[in-house]
Amino acid sequence: MKIIVGLGNPGKKYERTRHNAGFMAVDELAKDLQVDVAQDKYHALIAKARIDSEAALLAKPQTYMNDSGRAVAAILRETYTTVSDLIVVHDELDLPLGFVRVKTGGGHGGHNGLRSLIEQLGSPDFMRVRIGIGRPEPGRDPADYVLSPFFAVETQLAAEAVVKAAETVRLIIKEGPAGAMNIVHKK
């Protein structure tokens, strides 16, 4: 079984913020798979689905970004899966708005959600689908920037990136990590 986790913060206050790009992508994938990520379990909202012939669990941790690892560790423990079965979808300051990239392993790059996952799981070796949100203008605090909604002129590009991220998760499952990287990174 594949565990697909979108990172974000729960609640209306954060719903359309840059930091919730991972939640948005999981919601997009759920819509495409015709499931509702609404069951409250493992400190997360979850849904079971099938992607091609693979069983999948979609999850949106409800522990807030900085403690996402607690929910993800509970999911892996209770479903008897490992970090090799995990695909994490998250926002990425170091990618321009609209870009989507695939990566396996690596550090947290200052992303508190990834930091929490690495600490709780004891390993950075999970698959990542990174959604570019760009960097804030000089002088603006990155923490405030990620917790702000997309500007009106950015919404179309952000929405396209969310759709592409959901498609990328499906590609990872269908083509494997290397195959998905070859396809996604060529575009």
CATH number at residue 34: 3.40.50.1470
Query: Which of 19, 43, 111, 185 is the catalytic position?
Result: 19
User: The pTM is what?
Assistant: 0.93
**Is pLDDT of 187 > 70?**
no
If you average pLDDT over residues 109-134, what whole number do you get? 92
Provide the residue range defining the domain that includes 21: 2-186
pLDDT of residue 113: 92
Q: pLDDT grade, residue 186 (50/70/90)?
A: confident
147-156, long-range: CB < 8 A, 24+ apart: 147/9, 147/14, 147/17, 147/18, 147/19, 148/17, 148/18, 149/16, 149/17, 149/18, 150/16, 150/18, 154/97
108 is catalytic: no
* pLDDT at position 39 over 70: yes
Q: For 136-143, what is the mean pLDDT?
A: 87
CA atoms of 8 and 16, how far apart (whole Å)? 10
If one counts the domains in the chain, the total is: 1
The mean pLDDT of 157-172, rounded to a whole number, is 93
